[in-house]
């Protein structure tokens, strides 16, 4: 969920897009949006030349849209335009990023039918249902007719490795067969193998009809919960290739990740794309492109640069987050830069959070909001331009961390983010920094705010 900023207006330009709580009165006053500025820190003259563009919607179907420009030239002025879209406006906040996503099977679910569940006939389809299918079929085979039958089963009796699912449909070309999709799914889901611990259990209840056919199946976890395991997927789409890998995590986040077993070892895998799309015939070119020693480091973030020529890899190494800039042409390191400490202690929990790439710059921050702005050094690497916090105002609980947008003019960094008080809130925070730290911070109340979809 990354925001890409469009061209700067005057000195700086930011863009925020959000499904916000616009009121539904659409008439003569439709274009009237009011923004009320409250200065909290520093001199508002620091805003001079900045332009902020907001896109807000008045309905979940994205038919009612307001585009508002906030220009800071001798003070704040706003201009809004309302448009009605007969078909839904393209989703701006969560656009198609062209990535793949790995997922663990669900442990708590219920499936039922008005007829009966043909587990044998549907087994091929059930393989891709993101469920522990084999124990479900096994328990159903022992369920008496016209009953509700329950067993606790050990997952390791059925699987040596978690049956991972993989979502890649947004990367498929317009024309593909079911067999091609199955081949892609089988190959990619088997690439990373996470061993199933010996003690993980499920409780499965099968309800049958008078002929002994299952009509409902319920699954619930037994402690320790298998649902406490999940997969972090890291993916970089450069248009002509996809680079990706995965870590396995458990709820005890203070522990290092479980490194999946893979044919080539741990690291970044790659597969070619054709016009940005994944094709089954390229599976034989799937390969490990950048090996990583899991005893030394594990992956926290992966992004391509805006021009796709380099990969931006963040790893955790010896208690610190480290950025590595990789040349795609050679898959060799251009630069390694230590970022900030990482600590998993309960009373001092601070870990890496996000990486944003925009306008030739990078902004990386931790869970406390401490950030580094890195500007290009002219040789493919980066140098620290600003070191500060995304919480310049103590009262800002979430700070500038809720879907932020950034712009940088070589001296000033502007950062804007929605206040995070509600998914229907349009009001936002705005801050400006220079190398000395924050020089301005303010709150901006949006007249279309509401606390719920009905207000």
* Confidence at residue 450, expressed as pLDDT on a 0 to 100 scale: 63
Average pLDDT taken over every residue of the chain: 83
363 pLDDT band, cuts 50/70/90, is very high
Tell me what pLDDT residue 55 has: 73
Residue 103 has pLDDT above 60, yes or no: yes
The radius of gyration of the chain from alpha carbons, rounded to an integer in Å, stands at 25
Banded model confidence at residue 3, pLDDT cuts 50, 70, 90: very low
* pLDDT score recorded for residue 268: 97
User: Does position 23 have pLDDT exceeding 60, yes or no?
Assistant: no
CA distances from 420 to 99, 294, 342, 442 (A): 26, 36, 25, 15
CA quadruple 397, 51, 92, 453: dihedral positive or negative? positive
pLDDT 10s digits, 133-179: 899 999 999 999 999 999 999 999 999 999 998 888 667 666 667 78
Out of 48-57, 270-279, 316-325, give the one with best mean pLDDT. Answer: 316-325
Contact assessment for residue 387 and residue 337, using Cβ atoms and an 8 Å cutoff: no
Q: Kindly list the strands in the beta sheet with 50-57, ordered across the sheet, starting from the edge strand earlier in the chain.
A: 12-18, 50-57, 64-72, 76-84
Q: How far is the C-alpha of 16 from the C-alpha of 36, rounded, in Å?
A: 17
Share of the chain above pLDDT 90, in %: 45
Distant-in-sequence, close-in-space partners of 66: CB < 8 Å, separation ≥ 6: 22, 30, 31, 33, 54, 55, 56, 57, 58, 80, 81, 82, 448
Give the pLDDT confidence score for residue 7 in this predicted structure: 25
Per-residue pLDDT at 20 exceeds 60? no
CA distances from 234 to 269, 271, 302, 312, 314 (A): 10, 14, 6, 11, 10
Between 404 and 337, residue with greater pLDDT: 337
pLDDT digit string (tens) for 215-230?
Answer: 999 999 888 776 688 8
Mean pLDDT of 396-405: 81
pLDDT at 287: 96
Peptide bond into 44 cis (omega under 30): no
At residue 447, the pLDDT reads 82
């Amino acid at each position: 969920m990354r925001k890409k900023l469009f061209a700067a207006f005057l000195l700086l330009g930011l863009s925020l897009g959000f499904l916000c709580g616009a009121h539904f009165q659409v008439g003569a006053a439709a274009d009237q949006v009011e923004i009320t500025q409250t200065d909290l820190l520093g001199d508002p003259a620091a805003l001079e030349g900045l332009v902020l563009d907001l896109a807000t919607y008045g309905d979940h179907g994205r038919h009612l849209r307001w585009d508002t420009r906030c220009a800071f030239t001798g003070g704040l002025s706003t201009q809004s335009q309302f448009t009605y879209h007969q078909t839904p406006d393209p989703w701006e906040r969560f656009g198609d990023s062209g990535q793949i996503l790995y997922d663990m099977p669900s442990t708590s679910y219920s499936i039922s039918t008005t007829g009966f569940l043909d587990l044998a006939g549907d087994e091929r389809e059930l393989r891709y249902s993101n469920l522990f299918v084999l124990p479900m079929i096994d328990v159903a085979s022992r369920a008496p007719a016209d009953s509700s039958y329950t067993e606790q089963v050990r997952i390791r009796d059925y699987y040596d490795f978690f049956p991972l699912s993989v979502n890649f449909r947004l990367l498929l070309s317009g024309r593909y067969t079911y067999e091609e999709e199955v081949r892609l799914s089988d190959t990619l889901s088997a690439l990373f193998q996470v061993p199933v611990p010996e003690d993980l259990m499920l409780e499965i209840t099968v309800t049958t009809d008078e002929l002994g056919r299952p009509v409902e199946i319920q699954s619930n976890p037994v402690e320790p919960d298998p649902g406490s395991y999940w997969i972090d997927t890291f993916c970089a789409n450069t248009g002509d290739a996809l680079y990706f890998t995965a870590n396995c995590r458990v709820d005890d986040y203070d522990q290092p990740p479980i490194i999946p077993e893979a044919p080539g070892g741990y690291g970044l895998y790659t597969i070619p794309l054709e016009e940005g799309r994944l094709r089954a015939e390229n599976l034989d070119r799937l390969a490990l492109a950048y090996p990583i020693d899991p005893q030394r480091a594990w992956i926290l973030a992966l992004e391509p640069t805006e021009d796709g020529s380099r990969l931006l890899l963040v790893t955790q190494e010896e208690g610190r987050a480290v950025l590595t800039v990789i040349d795609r042409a050679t898959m060799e390191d251009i630069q390694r830069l230590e970022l900030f400490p990482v600590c998993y202690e309960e009373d001092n929990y601070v870990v890496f959070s996000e990486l944003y790439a925009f306008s030739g710059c990078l902004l990386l921050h931790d869970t406390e909001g401490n950030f580094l702005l890195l500007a290009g050094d002219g040789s493919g690497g980066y140098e620290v331009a600003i070191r500060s916090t995304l919480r310049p105002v103590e009262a800002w609980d979430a700070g500038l961390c809720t879907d932020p947008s950034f712009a940088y003019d070589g001296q000033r960094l502007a950062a804007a983010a929605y206040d995070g008080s509600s998914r229907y809130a349009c009001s936002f925070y705005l801050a400006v920094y220079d190398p000395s730290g924050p020089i301005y911070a303010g709150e901006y109340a949006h007249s279309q705010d509401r606390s719920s979809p009905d207000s």
